[in-house]
Amino acid sequence: MSYLLRGVAPLGGERTDLLLDDGRIAATGRQARVAGATVVDADGLVALPGLVDLHTHLREPGREDAETVASGTLAAAVGGYTAVHAMANTSPVADTAGVVEQVWRLGRDAGWADVFPIGAVSVGLAGQQLAELGAMAHSAARVRVFSDDGQCVHDPVLMRRALEYVKAFDGVIAQHAQEPRLTRGAQMHEGVVSAEIGLTGWPAVAEEAIVARDVLLAQHVGSRLHVLHVSTAGSVDLIRWAKSRGISVTAEATPHHLMLTDELARSYDPLFKVNPPLRTAEDVEALRAGLADGTIDVVGTDHAPHSREDKDCEWAAGAFGMLGLETALGVVSTLMVDTGRMSWADVARVMSVAPARIGRVDDGPFPQGRPLVVGEPANVVLVDPAARWTVDPSALSSLSKNTPYGGRELTGRVVATFLRGHPTVLDSRPATPVGGGAAR
């Protein structure tokens, strides 16, 4: 099947036509003609390389009531993603070649987006002993990103060993920076709001202390470090400093830390409970500035589905985490593009090219995050930059509905997503998975 995207603006630039044929970008401009191609009227739409998430919780195996690989990758496709990295904190934990291969196969069978499993750093995320990182790296899942996300690799020796060990296969340690002793029982950002509403505080220093330690460790052993969900202004400064020293560190901001603040905790609604917690307006501004100036390399969703009973309760009993896949592009469009702080080319960089490069999925048999030029795989998302749309939790494709954006108006609507030339999303609605969804 061939698709002719007529009048599309790649990266928001000059309008042209793109021909997607046989899984690749076959031609552009006047050459983009082939008999029998389905014409997509893409006039006014922006084309970006398919989005790549470095931080998705698909919950399978273990919590299929909250999300499955199939439902999570469907949500990803609707959000404009052609690839997601699946976090390791499943049950059982993705700390063996067997589990990562299972998740990888479930992704391939589902056919909505490429699934790249992330391997656990430590056995059972327990922070005691290295998991078999080599076995995961050499498995069919070809793991390159390792993380105990949800838990911090807080033991400095274990962190050092992990950073060193993954050099053998060009891996990266993605750190959830949270000093555990400083955050015991923590419920929200520690500051003016926590003092007033009486929730145990999660101080910024608990993140920054680990970021500072880890960039120095990465420098010492010459390894790649990726800092997940940076949430504080101080962390942005530390990462900016580390990059200026030539340390090989990359950093992620989530859409919710870019948009929302700790003031929302005043509602005591666990929809706004997330780890690391929502911070202050000053932190939010520092993240936006860091994203715009390149200190923050990627936007990662930290898509964290939770069942209703885990959110329909008092704050302290509620689970940490919020959905992100279906709203991330809208949030970035609203906050960064509409305000003139970033171009669509910048969006492609932080949501596709850089995440693919960090995850080392930008080459190999199914590369992601590639430029929109002839010969490259046809992983393309079409975005209507002018569309204004209101987030309706009940309309989300995710099995869970714990979005913090319900009722908010966003711009930048995903119109279509192509995974290697196959439309997984058309007219902003799910189309069909690649291969018809072999598994389910």
Q: Which helix (H) or strand (E) holds 288?
A: helix 281-293
Q: Residue 267 or residue 390: which is nearer to other proteins going by CB?
A: 267
Shortest reach from residue 92's CB to other proteins, in Å? 22
Tell me which of 44, 134, 191, 437 binds other proteins, using CB under 8 A: 191
Determine if 192 is a binding residue for other proteins (CB under 8 A).
yes
Under 8 Å CB-to-CB from 255, ≥6 apart: which residues?
299, 301, 324, 327, 328, 331, 332
Determine if 197 is a binding residue for other proteins (CB under 8 A).
yes
CA dist., res. 425 & res. 411, Å (int): 18
Q: Residue 134 or residue 203: which is nearer to other proteins going by CB?
A: 203
Cis bond upstream, residue 430 (ω within 30):
no
Tell me which of 79, 117, 150, 201 binds other proteins, using CB under 8 A: 201
CA dist., res. 243 & res. 263, Å (int): 32
User: Residue 278 burial by CB count (10 A; 0-12/13-18/19+): exposed, middle or buried?
Assistant: buried
* Choices 13-21, 100-108, 261-269, 321-329; region in contact with other proteins by CB under 8 A: 261-269
Q: Which residue is catalytic, options 53, 114, 148, 302? A: 302
Q: Residue 205 or residue 374: which is nearer to other proteins going by CB?
A: 205
Q: Residue 192 or residue 386: which is nearer to other proteins going by CB?
A: 192
Draw the binding track, 353-382, toward other proteins (x: CB under 8 A; -: no contact). Answer: ------------------------------
Q: Radius of gyration (Cα) for the chain, nearest Å?
A: 20
* Choices 102-110, 252-260, 311-319, 340-348; region in contact with other proteins by CB under 8 A: 311-319
Determine if 128 is a binding residue for other proteins (CB under 8 A).
no
Do 353 and 369 form a contact (C-beta atoms < 8 A)?
A: yes
Determine if 198 is a binding residue for other proteins (CB under 8 A).
yes
User: Residue 72 burial by CB count (10 A; 0-12/13-18/19+): exposed, middle or buried?
Assistant: buried
Determine if 200 is a binding residue for other proteins (CB under 8 A).
yes
Q: Residue 1 or residue 317: which is nearer to other proteins going by CB?
A: 317
Ramachandran angles phi, psi of 141, nearest 5°: -75, -15
Angle between helices 204-221 and 233-244 (to 10 degrees): 10
Q: List, in sequence order, the alpha helices (H) in 128-232.
A: 133-137, 156-165, 192-197, 204-221
* Choices 9-17, 199-207, 209-217, 334-342; region in contact with other proteins by CB under 8 A: 199-207
Tell me which of 22, 41, 170, 309 binds other proteins, using CB under 8 A: 309
Do 382 and 5 form a contact (C-beta atoms < 8 A)?
A: yes
* Choices 184-192, 249-257, 282-290, 431-439; region in contact with other proteins by CB under 8 A: 184-192
Q: List, in sequence order, the alpha helices (H) in 62-155.
A: 69-78, 97-110, 133-137
Shortest reach from residue 101's CB to other proteins, in Å? 34
Shortest reach from residue 11's CB to other proteins, in Å? 43
Range 172-196 burial, b when 16+ CB lie within 10 A, else e: bbbbbbbbeebbeebbbbbbebbee
Q: Which helix (H) or strand (E) holds 425?
A: strand 422-426
Determine if 426 is a binding residue for other proteins (CB under 8 A).
no
* Choices 46-54, 120-128, 148-156, 197-205; region in contact with other proteins by CB under 8 A: 197-205
Tell me which of 22, 41, 155, 196 binds other proteins, using CB under 8 A: 196
Shortest reach from residue 150's CB to other proteins, in Å? 19
Determine if 126 is a binding residue for other proteins (CB under 8 A).
no
From the list 186, 136, 194, the residue with the least C-alpha distance to 162 is 136
Active-site annotation holds for 302: yes
Residues 313 to 352: which contact other proteins by CB under 8 A? 313-317
Tell me which of 140, 168, 195, 373 binds other proteins, using CB under 8 A: 195
For the record, the structure tokens of 264 come out as 């929302």
Tell me which of 132, 237, 263, 312 binds other proteins, using CB under 8 A: 312
Contacts with other proteins: how many residues (CB under 8 A)?
A: 27
CA dist., res. 320 & res. 394, Å (int): 20
From the list 376, 369, 411, 394, the residue with the least C-alpha distance to 113 is 369
* Choices 130-138, 190-198, 235-243, 390-398; region in contact with other proteins by CB under 8 A: 190-198
* Residue numbers annotated as active site: 302
Residues that bind other proteins (CB under 8 A): 181, 184-185, 187, 190-201, 203, 267-269, 309, 312-317
